[in-house]
Amino acid sequence: MDKVLVVGDGAREHAIAWSLEKSGVAVGAVISHLNPGLVDIIKRTGGRVFLGSPVDPHFVVKAAEEFSPDLVIIGPEEPLFAGVSDALREKGFRTLGASKRLAIIEMRKDVARALQWKYGIPGRLIYGVFKNIEEAYSFSKALGAVAIKPIRQAGGKGVRVIYGDAKYLEFDEAYRKSAEDIMKQLSNFRDVDAAVLVEEAVWGIEFTIQALTDGETLFFFPPVQDNPHAYEYGVGPECGGMGTISPLPFLEEGEVEEAKKAVEFTVKALREEFGERYVGVISGQMMLTTRGPVIIEYYSRLGDPEALNALYLYEGDAYSLFSLAADGKLHKAERRFKEEYTVVKALAPLGYPHKRDIAKGRRVYIDWDVIKREGCLVFFSSVEERDGAYVTLGSRALEILAPGKTAEEAYLKSERCMSAVRGDGVYYRRDIGSPEYMSYMATKAGKVRAVYKWRRERGLDGKIAIWEPGVGLREYKL
């Protein structure tokens, strides 16, 4: 029996292990806490738990030497940033995960934007990087509506969008607080300087394109829509993601193909820039806008929760697919997906995402009979099992995937399964995947589609001019 070592301990890694168990392999895992779902799969498949830090290259290599896996799969981004994949490859382990040099496409938003403009990757946005808040403020006013981000990946958090082009006093206050918060957030990281990235804010339909690649071939999963805001109807702070849907009937095939091309161009640009083949997962978080699809940011791994939809919908053998990517033979992969809809909803403790201290220690209970009857799947994240309950550790507790032959069937199943989960101070988003949600997304997509198609028909989407203080009129060729 082949063995696979999974690095990481969230719902995404639980889903990866779930897909590998169906392939009939023994699953081991390097985890920082005892994820109940991962532990169960490891026991059932005859694998092994390695309790320690997934971001410590020395510890992960030691675990691999003891387990002797046929393949190592790295789930989260931080181990990639820490060079875990490089350390494993140096020791001769067959590894699926981008190198530290190439994972910079996610780790550093400023590097990703610079790469897009240098190589003419489609879907790029106007941006600037600033260490000085006053200079960033001047640039922000020139753009009008802006997104202010930490230059480093921070777990999907820290992004602020300010629409204040006509309300300068409100803009000033909102901007300064956002920039100061980001500078403070970046002080927790030792691998980047404190700086903010300011880019034009765009409006439209967000979606994620996820792809396995061996550096030559890209294997795309169906597009997924994540919902990064904590509360219903897309309000509240951005977090790691409160739920997903896939496939996306409100996107046109041509729009999805444009997004795929942007990701393909990025893989080629990375190879040209760094002289390395990208082996692992690369994902584009996209937005369908009045300019067509644009890239909001990249992932150097599967998203969470987006991975759950992708791996459930894939109808082939997951271990074979991952192995082909690691071996440079991805062109041989079978491209078969279920003709179903999926809705994923995350359960989070009160206090998440900003007050982790009060989000810890909350007890969660699951009525497994309901879950089984509805045909849903539970993937655990930041919980441990104690005395018959699942106890939260400060982040999202679990994610439930509901499949259906129609989008509405999947939504109704997701609601029935979420009602089977109870706990002391926990919440989830009821709106994700609802008929009202789907109708709203279709209407919104139709509005931006009408504009970008009108612009393209008249040749009006090639350039943008901005008046920058101290610079004058500056033209950007998109």
**pLDDT tens, 28-75?**
999 999 999 999 999 999 999 999 999 999 999 999 999 999 999 999
Read off the pLDDT of each residue in 78-90 and give the average, rounded to a whole number. 98
Say what the pLDDT of residue 168 is.
44
- Give per-residue pLDDT as tens, 1-38: 999 999 999 999 999 999 999 999 999 999 999 999 99
In the chain, list all ranges with CATH 3.40.50.20.
3-97
Mean pLDDT for the stretch of residues 184-194: 60
Residues in the chain: 478
Residues 6+ apart with CB under 8 A from 123: 116, 258, 259, 262, 284, 286, 292, 293, 294, 295
Beta strands 71-74 and 95-96 are: parallel
Can you tell me the mean pLDDT for 331-355?
96
Q: Provide the mean pLDDT of the chain.
A: 91
What is the location of CATH 3.30.1490.20 in the chain? Answer: 126-200
Higher pLDDT, 145 or 412: 412
Q: What SS3 class is residue 39? A: helix
**What is the reported pLDDT for 221?**
98
Q: What is the pLDDT of residue 409?
A: 98
Note the pLDDT of residue 166. Answer: 43
pLDDT attached to residue 190? 62
CATH topology of domain 204-436: D-amino Acid Aminotransferase; Chain A, domain 1 (3.30.470)
**Average pLDDT for residues 288-311, to the nearest whole number?**
97
Residues 6+ apart with CB under 8 A from 219: 211, 212, 213, 321, 325, 330, 333, 335
pTM of the predicted model, to two decimals? 0.93
Q: Angle at the Cα of 361 (from 383 to 242), degrees rounded to 5?
A: 55
Report whether pLDDT(473) > 80. no
Q: Walk across the sheet containing 389-393 and list its strands.
A: 383-386, 389-393, 360-366, 421-423
Q: Higher model confidence: residue 42 or residue 144?
A: 42
pLDDT over 70 at 158, yes or no: no
State yes or no: pLDDT of 183 exceeds 70. no
Amino acid 276: pLDDT: 96
CATH homologous superfamily of 126-200 equals ATP-grasp fold, A domain (3.30.1490.20)
d(CA 317, CA 309): 16
The listed CATH number (3.40.50.10490, 3.90.1150.10, 3.40.50.20, 3.90.78.10) that belongs to domain 3-97: 3.40.50.20
Q: Give the lowest-confidence range in 18-22, 92-96, 103-107, 179-183.
A: 179-183
d(CA 104, CA 291): 26
Quote the pLDDT of residue 327.
98
CATH 3.30.470.20 boundaries in the chain: 204-436
Average pLDDT over residues 146-163: 70
- My answer on whether omega of the bond before 305 falls inside 30° of 0, hence cis, is yes
Q: Which of 180-184, 193-197, 239-243 has the highest mean pLDDT?
A: 239-243
Q: Give pLDDT, residue 167.
A: 45
Give the percent of the chain with pLDDT over 90: 77
